[in-house]
Amino acid sequence: MLKSTRELLKSLNVNPENGSICTGTQWVTSTNTETINVHSPVDGSELGKVIYASESDYETVILKAQKAAEYWKTVPAPERGSIVRQYGIKLRAHKKELGKLVSLEMGKSYQEGLGEVQEMIDICDFAVGLSRQLYGLTMHSERPNHRMYEQWHPIGIVGIISAFNFPVAVWAWNSMIATVCGDVCVWKPSEKTPLTAIACHRLLESVITENKLPEGIFNLVIGNYKIGESLAKDKRIPMVSATGSTRMGKKVSEVVGARLGSSLLELGGNNAVIISEHANLDNALIAAVFGCVGTAGQRCTSTRRLLIHESIFETFKTKLVNAYGQLSIGNPLDENNHVGPLIDEDAVNAFTNAVEAVKNEGGEVLTGGEVLSGEGYESGCYVKPCIATAKNHFNIVQEETFGPIVYLIPYQTLDEAIQLQNDVKQGLSSAIFTDNIQEAERFLSAAGSDCGIANVNIGTSGAEIGGAFGGEKETGGGRESGSDAWKKYMRRQTNTINYGTDLPLAQGIKFDL
């Protein structure tokens, strides 16, 4: 391990050998003998070894969480918000170090790593305000001398299964909102990015200690898919939030649904940008390039398809290929580079397989598609972003490839473009670039995009925390982060109070004795 890496981990108080299971401030070294060697996709260096949690470790955590939930739901929401506020302050103080660790462990650029930590800070701010706005409604009763209203209560334990591509932000989206709602959280991070998870919980320790909170409000369990399966099956966990592939999400939904639990799913995306003949092509180009190659195409909101009006198809294609020729690929900690590595060898293989598949189906690779080697690319995880022409019905186009490959598809009319946009199994993010107001409004109408996110003159990638984030169809239907997504973490209760002296029944029913 490089000296600078050791110093970075030390600055965040990350020592994997101290334990992989945390119930607040108590770190437990698992009795399990199964370990994982954490390697950086940046240079292939080993960052550390982490011991997987065993089933008995998992049980220890859940018992602590159950006990903590009974206490936490009685704490006033603004006080719960104060804890989140203090954590946001810790994140601000360690933004650079945590952002650098995100970049080192996951492979995204340092600027994107900083941006991810800023998302955590922003959701803390949002959650603090939310802690004083967990509103219910008051309704008029049909019965005299009766009052009706609804209120929201904590649900208990929230299980969080997060993915490698946003190793800390998505946990914060869930946990900070759940915390102010009065829930306790059990987090299973991706086994590909456990060190950032440990760092997040290390930053929580002082907040927990300073406020004399009991163990079990914030819980971390590092393990493989078996821990995820335990979360999904556990009847003591009323809601499981899972981020990952559609394949994984279907399994979680099936298992949680079988016990009539609730799941919040954020799954795959196959996102398209429609580029109209009325578009500002300079802005469309910037959005397309970032959407296609940002995080090396490993965002669920990454742009996978560009639907380009036939009148500007050749012009925009040339602009895009030229822009790709200016991309700098290399160490993501070097701020001069635009594109970092893919997460691992499996991701590289999926990318190269997609490149071959689109050629086999009749598409043309215009640029990129190669695996890079030599000095600076020793990890074997660096690839050259690919642009290919294709048709929307190609099998490979219908699937999500988690890497920097984009398919260019011409269209003639806006109705055709919208149909192409919607004609995939996923429904996460979508966008149109046009200065024509009729086109923009048509795209946003009920007859337009069928995605959970629909943007005008903004790309598919990147979302503010103030809006609810999520998608439809095989994206899972979940909503996280802003707006009223908080309601998923609470249970609704309708209350009716009779303050009169008799007992009238609803619907005018008479029941005289």
DSSP3 helix / strand / coil % (the chain, rounded to 5) = 40, 20, 40
Give the burial string for 52-84 (b: 16+ CB within 10 Å, else e). Answer: bbbeebbebbbebbeebbeebbeeebeebbbbb
> From the CB of residue 221, how many other CB atoms can be counted at a distance below 10 Å?
28
Active site residue 266: yes
H helix runs in 94-163, sequence order: 95-106, 110-130
Q: CB neighbours of 79 closer than 8 A, spacing ≥ 6? A: none
Considering the candidates 105, 112, 266, 474, report the single residue annotated as catalytic.
Answer: 266
H helix runs in 361-413, sequence order: 395-398
Considering the candidates 200, 300, 381, 386, report the single residue annotated as catalytic.
Answer: 300
Check the CA dihedral 443-445-448-451 and report its sign. positive
Residues β-bridged to residue 36: 50
Distance (Å, whole) CA 375 – CA 402: 25
| Degrees, nearest 5: CA angle 7-12-17 | 85
Distance (Å, whole) CA 90 – CA 85: 9
Q: CB neighbours of 453 closer than 8 A, spacing ≥ 6? A: 301, 428, 429, 430, 460, 463, 467, 469, 471
DSSP conformational letter for 475: T
DSSP conformational letter for 16: G
What 3-state DSSP class applies to 185? Answer: strand
Catalytic residue set: 266, 300
